[in-house]
Amino acid sequence: MNTAPAPPAPISSLLATAKQAAEEAGKAILEIYETADFGVEAKADNSPLTKADTAAHHLIAQALSATGLPLLSEEGKEIPLEERKNWPFYWLVDPLDGTKEFIKRNGEFTVNIALMQHNIPVAGVVYAPCHKVLYYGSKGTGVFKETPAGTTLLTPLPQKESLASLLQKPEVRVIASRSHQTEETATFVRQFQNPMFSSMGSSLKFMLLAEGKADVYPRFAPTMEWDTAASHALLNALNRSIYGTDLSQELVYNKPNLQNPSFVSF
């Protein structure tokens, strides 16, 4: 009988390592955030890269190397599909999600670390350094929000929402990107009876869903797998998810092209 491979350590232990890595990266990011020179460069796709992205990547890679699992990171070297497609477990990392928000100095950026099993996110850590707020968990451990004031267990939805049920609500709280507004987003939002619209940067949008402070997050602009994976793991553990816009399936990971399609999360 075929069985799924077991992770090299308990999920709770791997999460503890990822939490520590995210917090160490957050400290390095804030040290650079408080300086006058971010060392902003343009990557090949014209997206910005700062000293903070690079420093966070190196710290996370070093911390996670203790687990013996391979690492796929936005700021790491490109890894061919032939090498990564058969990884049973690996880390998928965005060392600084929301670089544009970082450069704007609005505090809405995160460190994202996901534990992947083949093409599925099974555990995640999302850390917001400016707010000192850490979200982490999996289906097996539950999802926690950790702040200087203490740690709380987030409550899963009793059952998954559907878009049809959201359309019946008298009010729907829609969360969208601070830096990527599109006409497709506006069209999507217009189908709700009374949409209450707010904006946020980085994976903090997903965390509003995780905490039940928003109902739906449509995204009709490019993202990469490392932008969504950690949040996807947390949302799945809370009976929420991230779907392609036709709602037929959740986002799939470890694709030949690591860019996500447009999606809707609720």
> pLDDT per residue over 176-205, tens digit each?
766 666 889 888 988 998 999 888 889 999
* Total Cβ atoms within 10 A of residue 144: 16
In this predicted model, what pLDDT tens digit does every residue of 4-41 receive, in sequence order?
Answer: 677 878 999 999 999 999 999 999 999 999 987 776 66
Reported confidence tier of residue 264, pLDDT bands at 50, 70, 90:
very high
Tell me: pLDDT of 248 over 70. Answer: yes
- The stretch 68-75 carries a mean pLDDT of 95
- Range list of H helices, the chain: 11-33, 51-64, 81-84, 99-104, 163-168, 183-190, 204-210, 225-237
Helix, strand and coil percent figures for the chain, each rounded to 5: 30, 30, 40
162-171 burial, b at 16+ Cβ within 10 Å, e below that, comes to eeeebeeeee
Structural domains in the chain, sorted by start: 11-153 (3.30.540.10), 163-265 (3.40.190.80)
Question: Regarding beta strands 150-153 and 142-147, do their DSSP bridges make them parallel or antiparallel, or are they unpaired?
Answer: antiparallel
Task: Please name which of 137, 135, 6, 22 lies closest in space to residue 73, comparing C-alpha atoms.
Answer: 22
Residue 42 has pLDDT above 70, yes or no: no
pTM: 0.93
Tokens of 172: 């729907």
Nearest Cα neighbor of 119 from 158, 76, 90 is 90
- Chain centroid, CA 201 distance in Å: 11
pLDDT, averaged across the chain: 91
243 phi, psi to nearest 5 deg: -115, 155
Confidence of residue 49 (pLDDT cuts 50, 70, 90): low
Quick one: average pLDDT of 218-245? 96
What integer pLDDT is reported at residue 41 of this predicted model? Answer: 66
